[in-house]
Structure 1
Amino acid sequence: MLTSAVPGLAYDWIVTDLDGTLVDRDLRIVRRSAEALRRYRELGGTVVVATGRNEVSAGLYHRELGLTTPMIVCNGARITDRHSGARLLDLDLGASWQPLRDRLVPALPHGVGAIAFAGERAFVLRQAPVLAEYAGRDRIELREDEPRQAPTKVMLIAERPGLEPLARLAARYCPDVRLLQSEATYLEMLPPGAGKGPALRVLAEREGVALDRIAAIGDNPNDTDMLRTAGLGAAVGDGHPQVRAAAGLVVGPCAGGAVADLVEHVIGDRVR
């Protein structure tokens, strides 16, 4: 079981998003934030990663931080214990998968790519030039065959910001899926009820940690429900306006050490 009720800490857990929050535009963990999380853990706190990435991609940063805690991945559609390999939560697109594959994907506008995530693999549903950049960014292999099961999520990647028309198209063919924006050009299609907020509730209940003892931080709209679920929700200062509006605390920019700002707020001068 994860550590809870740590004496002297107002928040037993810090739950952090990766990209744009802990990880900068150069895809590196911000050093100041990494050092602050290390100090927080030395004081008895627990650090949990919650990300849109899958286990393979997120696992690179999880290992770099030296974490052994479960990861919330695929924007809350899965919770994976990397130590044991167990799936603590494992949702999929179910009945929405067939219309998504057979009707939505052929109707996508020119230049929009589509990737399905099933298991720990990523499959190309619709090829587009933007997919090569995405695969390099997340350091994952894109397979050309088709998943044998309903995937956990499907990501639509556009060439430029402005996802509203794409969201309307997705809702027309797949009205039951949950649509989330995880980057300016990323529209994610998730199982109903999936999200970082619901996943955090599942993990906290499983580990016996009260939500008001959890601080969470993020930068994009896919983080909003997580910030509202946690006892303290912090927004990255250069994050999306929707996230800043939903947060109880707004810290500095990602590159300046947004997560370190949150840690300092949580434990004060003990992190210095």
Structure 2
Amino acid sequence: MPPVSAAGPLFPWLVTDLDGTLVGRDLRIVRRSADALRRYRERGGTVYIATGRNEESAGRYHRDLGLDTPMILYNGARVVDPATGRRLLDLRLDDSCLWNAVLPELPAGVGAVGFAGEDAYALRAVPALADYARRDGITLRADAPAEPLTKAMLIAPAPPLDGLAALVAERCPGVRLLQSEDTYLEILPADAGKGPALRWLTEREGIDLSRVAAIGDNPNDIDMMTAAGLGAAVGDGHPETRAAADIVVGGCAEGAVADLVDRILADGKPE
């Protein structure tokens, strides 16, 4: 691959996950990574975020970074223009099976959150939902959503999630399941995912996927990383994610995104 030219980075798009990648356990953007993204943008690069969070939760990080690019939200079920709030991509769940066949059969201690419109709803309240809402900085509504869900998430008291995944797959075969944390099982529309959303966005903007670098830490990031021209995994991320990556960088708290930026601006080559 040729070196970075004065015209800009070899990978002019960088797409980053938030939690565990750009955002540390203290729920703040890792400063070294924020500084690196600023340097990357000064060199002509464009930064996107791709996250399981919703508009409210992801928007504050987007603003902190000074970005104006569309946000990939709900693990790819929605792409939003933050300037106008317009939904550029908006997928919905056929959620009747969730209400009728999954929620009534959830084991004790397993909570459920649903996302509709721009709101989050406690579909099955358990103590763990309070920690989730605090971490994401959102308010969980107690009423029933008035429109179909964009995404649902089951929160287990402890891993593994195999039993929950088997239950949902049997009762709702037309959905996509993703594990975004050790205890989070996300239920998405069949066509949703960070990878499909990235493909959709690059086609819309007319950029080849081979010129995109993407970084993440959990299995829900793998399809995005493998779709991109350069896929990087956080060094302290999930083993499956590290195994699927082109390169493995440092840990989140040490500046994983900064490591990726340094490699791109040095020569753009995976090692």
- TM-score of Structure 1 vs Structure 2, range by shorter chain: over 0.9
Q: CA deviation at 1:9?
A: 1.2
Secondary structure at the residue paired with 1:19? Answer: coil
Which amino acid letter does the alignment assign opposite residue 229 of structure 1? A
Equivalent position SS for 1:117: strand
Local SS of the residue matching 2:120: strand
Instruction: Check 1:144–1:6 CA distance in 2 against 1; reply closer, same or farther (3 A cut).
Output: farther
Where does residue 49 of structure 2 map in the other structure? 49
CA distance in 2, matches of 1:150, 1:86: 18
Q: Secondary structure at the match of 2:107?
A: coil
Whether the aligned pair in 1 keeps the contact of 2:216 and 2:234 (CA below 8 Å) is yes
**Equivalent of 1:120, from 99, 118, 127?**
118
Residue 260 of structure 2 corresponds to which residue in structure 1?
262
Q: Deviations over 1:57-108 (max 9, x none)?
A: 00010011111100000000000001121111100102xx111012210100
Pairs within 5 Å for 1:27-106: 27-94=27-94, 97-106=95-104
For residues 186-229 of structure 1, the C-alpha deviation after alignment (integer angstroms, 9 at most, x for no partner) is: 00000001000000001111111110110000000000000000
Are the aligned partners of 2:50 and 2:73 in contact in 1 as well (CA < 8 Å)? Answer: yes
SS at match of 2:100: helix
Provide the secondary structure at the position in 2 that maps to 1:238: coil
Specify the code of the residue in structure 2 equivalent to 1:198: P
1:25 alignment partner AA: R
Distance across 2 between alignment mates of 1:112 and 1:8: 48
- Structure 2 CA distance for aligned equivalents of residues 198 and 8 of structure 1: 26
Q: Which amino acid aligns with 1:187?
A: L
Q: Where does the alignment leave 5 or more consecutive residues of structure 2 unmatched?
A: none
Report the counterpart of residue 168 of structure 1 in structure 2. Answer: 166
Alignment equivalent of 1:231, drawn from 223, 229, 232: 229
Runs of 4 or more consecutive aligned structure 1 residues displaced over 3 Å after TM superposition? none
Q: Distance in 1 between matches of 2:236 and 2:156?
A: 22
SS of 1:260's equivalent?
A: helix
**2:11 alignment counterpart:** 11
Separation in 2, partners of 1:214, 1:98: 37
Q: Secondary structure at the match of 1:124?
A: strand
- Following superposition, the deviation at residue 161 of structure 1 comes to 1.5
Residue 6 of structure 1: how far off its partner (Å)? 8.1
**DSSP 3-state at the match of 1:255:** helix
TM, length-normalised to structure 2 = 0.95
Residues 8 and 44 in structure 2, CA contact (< 8 A), matched pair in contact too: no
Letter in 1 for 2:72: I
Q: What is the root-mean-square deviation in Å for CA atoms of aligned residues? A: 1.2
Counterpart residue type for residue 256 of structure 2? A
2:211 and 2:229 in contact (8 A); partners too: yes
Q: So what's the TM-score if we normalise by structure 1?
A: 0.95
Cα shift at 1:8? 3.6
The whole-number CA distance in structure 2 between the counterparts of 1:137 and 1:219 is 17
SS at match of 2:170: helix
Find the aligned partners of 1:176 and 1:227 in 2 and give their Cα distance. Answer: 24
CA distance in 2, matches of 1:159, 1:6: 51
| Aligned AA (1:34) | A
Structure 1 spans left out of the alignment, 5+ residues: none
Aligned to 1:110: 108
Hey, what does 2:20 align to over in structure 1? 20
Distance 2:89 2:151 in 1: 14
Residue 51 of structure 2 contacts residue 73 of structure 2 at CA under 8 Å; is this kept in 1? yes
Map of 1:214 onto structure 2: 212
CA distance in 2, matches of 1:200, 1:31: 26
Find 2:156's aligned residue among 158, 179, 183: 158
Number of corresponding residues: 263
2:190 to 189, 192, 207: 192
Please list the CA deviations of residues 144-170 of structure 1 after superposition, one character each: whole Å capped at 9, or x if unmatched: 111111100100001111100110011
